[in-house]
A and B are shown apart, each in its own frame.
Chain A
Amino acid sequence: KAGVTQTPRYLIKTRGQQVTLSCSPISGHRSVSWYQQTPGQGLQFLFEYFSETQRNKGNFPGRFSGRQFSNSRSEMNVSTLELGDSALYLCASRVTGVPGNEQFFGPGTRLTVL
């Protein structure tokens, strides 16, 4: 079974631009979560999607948004990029309704904002 895939793997943008990152979960996984990892703040929860609905969002400004499609694939968008948005963005998927169901992470998208 294929793992979680994320595209692109690396991205360089300039301040003020917007960016869209994509995540394809493991087949059969309907929950997709996004995390931001920076050296200063560590790993922080961005949001979780399930059945095309955002369930919860972490403490991030409205510039960070996302969506999920009917095939469970998810995208996250960051508008008006700031230098501080440079980070590794990790996507994770899981099966729901099963105790102890771990989240499987993708390889991440490394975003650099210049």
Chain B
Amino acid sequence: AQKITQTQPGMFVQEKEAVTLDCTYDTSDQSYGLFWYKQPSSGEMIFLIYQGSYDEQNATEGRYSLNFQKARKSANLVISASQLGDSAMYFCAMREWLLTGGGNKLTFGTGTQLKVEL
């Protein structure tokens, strides 16, 4: 079974600084996908960035980048130039392809609560 570990329950960062949110994963699959989602207090899960296991380059989306180290099984999210609006819960997730019935599901980590301060 797949497992996602986020060891930072909470993080603080000052506005305009960069912050790294840690994520390690465990899987025996060769093909998998890694996602980061942001969840504000309103509850909606907002997709941030995706990294495929065969992608050789680290994914980037605006101020978000994913530091993918396959051998170490880590997929850390880097947010550059933090903004007050970045304060939220951040979840790392892995896509698992399900052999029975097809389709897939996401396995989520426990999340990191990020607080951006002035």
Interface, chain A (partner B; CB < 8 A): 31, 33, 35, 42-43, 45, 48, 50, 54-56, 58, 88, 90, 92, 99-100, 102-108, 110
Residues of B within 8 A of A90 (CB): 43, 45
Would you call B57 an interface residue if the criterion is a C-beta within 8 Å of the partner chain's C-beta atoms?
no
Is the CB–CB distance between A108 and B44 below 8 Å? yes
Number of A-B residue pairs at CB separation under 8 A: 60
Partner of B103, one of A43, A50, A104, A110: A50
Majority-rule SS of A interface residues:
strand
Interface size on B, residues (CB 8 A): 26
Residues of B within 8 A of A102 (CB): 35, 47, 50
Q: List 28 A-B contacts (CB under 8 A).
A: A33-B105, A42-B109, A42-B111, A43-B91, A43-B106, A48-B103, A48-B105, A50-B103, A54-B101, A55-B103, A56-B98, A56-B100, A56-B105, A88-B43, A90-B45, A92-B45, A92-B106, A100-B50, A102-B47, A102-B50, A103-B35, A104-B47, A105-B44, A105-B47, A106-B44, A107-B42, A107-B43, A107-B44
